Amino acid sequence: MLIAANIIIVYLLNFDDQFNDVPNLNALPTAIERKKIMIEIKHVTKVYGGTHKAVDNISLTIPTGEIIGFIGPNGAGKTTTIKMITGVLNPDEGEILINGKNIVTQPLEAKKEFGIVPDNADIFLRLKGIEYLNFMADIYEVDSATRKQRIAQLAKTFEMENALNDKILSYSHGMRQKIVIMGVLISDPNVWILDEPMTGLDPQSSYSLKQMMKEHAAKGNTVFFSTHVLEVAEKLCDKVAIINAGSIIFFGTLEELQHNHPNCDSLESLFLEVISHA
């Protein structure tokens, strides 16, 4: 009896040791999942034209389960960074891993881990919306039952049901943005990377997208998006990364940012303060 009790105690102690930083055992799988690192940017530099350092030795570690806002003034290096994360451009120095896959040396494996909404939604203009969605579903091997269900759901969310049989060429800017977002979401990637995703969206679609971003992160996934709209970043993000002239000048929570600058009462004033001292 005593031996059995000892075995149970030793087991419980070891169990507790393994998870001693997890406060709630009911939340165990999510807590462990959230410790995973999804995007690792290590000492990355990009030089245009041999001389212009658009991105200068930046490092960011982005875990799962969080929404990260990427903010900075015009020309700071946001799009260049996003293009390197997604394999559109190769860094001149450093490396980028998406869920452990190197975007330069393992591009096919790395690209399966994320979906990208680029800043320019003018793509595949000669295709009909539905053809584009099926094309994206084919690339990511989404089976027909799943794609049918996702297309119906996304079309409803973004109020695009009546537009899917029209050519993308005939769409407004906002509708083009919506079809690109739908094309990304159809494969349900773990990591969402979005470059200025709210631009051109009407209030309802913008609201829906923000809700979807929150739900996606709450499920233990990662959302990384650039924006100039600081109110959006303020309300939506778990953390912000601020880039200025190619360098990361802050990465952390808004509380941490505010702690460093107690006189500022909004992300806008914090942002202006940080940029002015950079």
Ligand X SMILES: Nc1ncnc2c1ncn2[C@@H]1O[C@H](COP(=O)(O)OP(=O)(O)OP(=O)(O)O)[C@@H](O)[C@H]1O
Question: Applying CB under 6 A, which residues contact ligand X?
Answer: 48-49, 52, 54, 72, 74-80
45 burial (CB, 10 Å; 0-12 / 13-18 / 19+) is middle
CB of 275 to ligand X, least distance (A): 12
CB of 110 to ligand X, least distance (A): 20
Smaller CB distance to ligand X: residue 79 or 99?
79
CB of 243 to ligand X, least distance (A): 7
Task: Yes or no: say if 69 and 241 are a contact pair by the CB < 8 Å rule.
Answer: yes
CB of 242 to ligand X, least distance (A): 11
CB of 72 to ligand X, least distance (A): 5
Smaller CB distance to ligand X: residue 199 or 269?
199
Smaller CB distance to ligand X: residue 66 or 195?
195
Calculate the CA 263 to chain-centre distance.
Answer: 30
SS3 (DSSP) at 256? helix
> Can you tell me the distance from the alpha carbon of 115 to that of 108, in angstroms, rounded to the nearest whole number?
13
Smaller CB distance to ligand X: residue 199 or 258?
199
- Which of 176, 185, 58 lies closest to 114, judged by CA? 185
Smaller CB distance to ligand X: residue 80 or 205?
80
SS3 (DSSP) at 252? strand
- Which of 187, 191, 170, 68 lies closest to 122, judged by CA? 170
